[in-house]
Structure 1
Amino acid sequence: YYRREAANLAELRVLLVDKSERDHQSHGVVMRLREQLATLATDGIVIKVVEVPPGPPVLSTLVAEVYRDAFVDEQTHSHAALQLAARLQQE
């Protein structure tokens, strides 16, 4: 990710299937993910789930970011990121 400033920062982008092929709108997916991933945001871990505004071409993209404070170990950070990726895969 070109804007990452440190090794403890990362961004994960997820492209949803077309809305005709899924049961929920992208905004609903974002709201559920925020609630479900809040439990991972402990001990200096910050998770942001945002919906990229539509524009030409219209994409249903979600961005999930997992941050950690300098005092959080890399293993905890990686574990949170893997749990996030697993949850996104379920969606």
Structure 2
Amino acid sequence: MAAAHSVSLRTVHRVFQAHETTVCDVIRRARRSRCRRDLADPRDASPVRAIGARWGCPRPSEFTRAFRAATGMTPTQFRALVQKRF
């Protein structure tokens, strides 16, 4: 990111700090968002573990823990709830 914008790594971190977040937090939120999107897609029959791995969490237990911490439910519960609505 820093190289793409011709700035130092420290400058990138300062910009994110000014917005009261970190680069890692933004990346985690983006990955969770993509996981939620894929879990909600009725055309995507991929196993939950495959969706987690697709978005950077190759260990199913870690994916489940992080997803539950962020959403209050497991990825399987989320998928069932969202797909039930359709």
Using structure 2 for the length normalisation, give the TM-score: 0.29
Structure number with bigger Rg = 2
Using structure 1 for the length normalisation, give the TM-score: 0.28
Structure number with higher helix proportion: 2
Higher relative contact order (CA 8 A, sep 6+): 1
Structure number with higher strand proportion: 1
